[in-house]
Structure 1
Amino acid sequence: MSTNTISINQSLHRFDGHREVWLFGYGSLIWKADFDFIERRPARIHGWTRRFWQGSHDHRGTPEAPGRVVTLIADAAAHCAGMAYLITPEVFDHLDHREKNGYLREIVNIEFSQGGSTQGLVYIAGPGNEAFLGAASDAEIARQIAQSKGPSGLNRDYFAHLADALRALGESDSHIDRIEQELLALSGA
């Protein structure tokens, strides 16, 4: 199963004519910047919460056994910490391919940790995409993460890199913390 969003993202024409665009990353884009960027800064967005509710059929799982990766869910009372990158529009060719399994570019207000804010883009895989798995208990999410692997490696590694990256930013995410406790219990640690 795959919801290939490359052509949809390329047709949106958001920030056309801009030579530079800010991009907010809240998952693997925090710790895996495999693209050129001009600048990067710790940042957050408001009105969104990070959840392991998106299926990964192409990176951290397979169509038969999808892994779980993060997406954003609207929540007016929440904020989500991550990393903002100043990029040129040419970088979207790579990012649209990387984020092709259900993620669409959305416009958000980005607040920098050191002060200031700007408008930018974020990739969000909403409930309407075919790969969306939705809510599950922390224990169920942890079991799926522990068992899944795909062409990009173990789902557990994706989770660990994200948890470590958030700690390095000095940020806490209760959803991540609870799943990490369940993963530790599964491994007997």
Structure 2
Amino acid sequence: MSHNTIELNKQRQPLDHLESVWLFGYGSLIYKADFPYLQRKPACIWGWQRRFWQGSHDHRGTPEAPGRVATLVEVPGARCAGMAYEVTPEVFDHLDHREKNGYLRVFTELEWLDAEGNAEGLVYMASADNEAYLGPASEADIATHIARSEGPSGPNSEYLLKLAEALRELDEHDDHVFAIERELLKQLE
């Protein structure tokens, strides 16, 4: 599958018939809401883990030297915390462009972290069958990759460090993210 998924997302899931949609963010969408939203709430999804296994050719890297950014991998019983935004369908023109590098929209059940209840929402996931997928590596190797990567949106290290900070603000622990952060900080010293 091509890593530019804009048209594929529009074809697979037209949203025009909806008044609003919940969007779940688990990477930069937690801390960088550069779009209008009606409300936001901390949330989690079950059965998925955040992993720095996706390449970024357009934001935190270049086509010649992609950075590493978060995607989700299916793990039964796992829990991934993040931020949910209620948005209008028009916002997806911007979001589909922002998340075009291999990410497909998928509906999933969101569970609120600060209140009882849940809702159905969309999440962008980049699976192993997209051209930008980099796959697993050790946390040390991922940190080395991130330390040397930069793209139009800035240094790849900024993405990782802001995500780690945002997770701490949510009072959430993510072994993978924090292990990469520790390795990165050692390398930057």
Q: Into which bin does the TM-score normalised by the smaller protein fall?
A: over 0.9
Contact 2:13 2:105 in 1 (8 A): no
Could you say which residue in structure 1 is the equivalent of 2:130?
A: 129
State the one-letter code of the partner of 1:139.
A
* Map of 1:19 onto structure 2: 19
CA distance in 2, matches of 1:180, 1:101: 23
Give the structure 1 partner of residue 33 of structure 2. Answer: 33
Range that drifts further, 44-53 or 5-14: 5-14
1:153 aligns with 2:154: yes
Instruction: Report runs of 4+ in structure 1 exceeding 6 Å deviation.
Output: none
TM-score normalised to structure 2 length? 0.96
Unpaired segments ≥5 residues, structure 1 = none
Equivalents in 2 of 1:5, 1:36: separation in Å? 22
Distance in 2, Cα, partners of 1:186 & 1:14: 44
CA distance in 2, matches of 1:179, 1:169: 18
Distance in 1 separating the partners of 2:175 and 2:63: 29
Matched, 1:115 2:116: yes
Q: State how 1:1-189 maps to structure 2 within 5 Å.
A: 3-113=3-113, 114-188=115-189
- Give the secondary-structure state (helix, strand or coil) at the position aligned to 2:63: coil
TM-score for both structures, normalised by structure 1: 0.96
Report the residue type matching 1:55 in the other structure.
G
AA aligned opposite 1:126: S
Secondary structure at the counterpart of residue 90 of structure 2: helix
The alpha-carbon deviation at position 22 of structure 1 amounts to 0.4
Q: Is the 8 Å Cα contact of residues 102 and 130 (structure 2) preserved in structure 1?
A: yes
1: distance between equivalents of 2:105 and 2:16? 13
Which stretches in structure 2 are left out of the alignment for 5+ residues? none
Post-superposition offset of 1:124: 0.2
Paired amino acid for 2:173:
S
Counterpart Cα distance in 2 of 1:160 and 1:131: 22
Deviations 1:47-105 (A, max 9, x none): 00000000001100011111000000001120100000000000000000000000000
> How many angstroms does 1:13 deviate by?
2.6
Task: State the superposition RMSD in angstroms.
Answer: 1.0
Give the superposition deviation at 1:15: 4.6
How far apart, CA to CA, are the structure 2 residues paired with 1:57 and 1:118?
Answer: 32
Q: What fraction of aligned residue pairs are identical, expressed as a percent?
A: 60
Number of positions where the alignment pairs a residue of Structure 1 with one of Structure 2: 187
For 2:155 and 2:24, locate their aligned partners in 1 and report how far apart those are by CA, in whole Å. 24
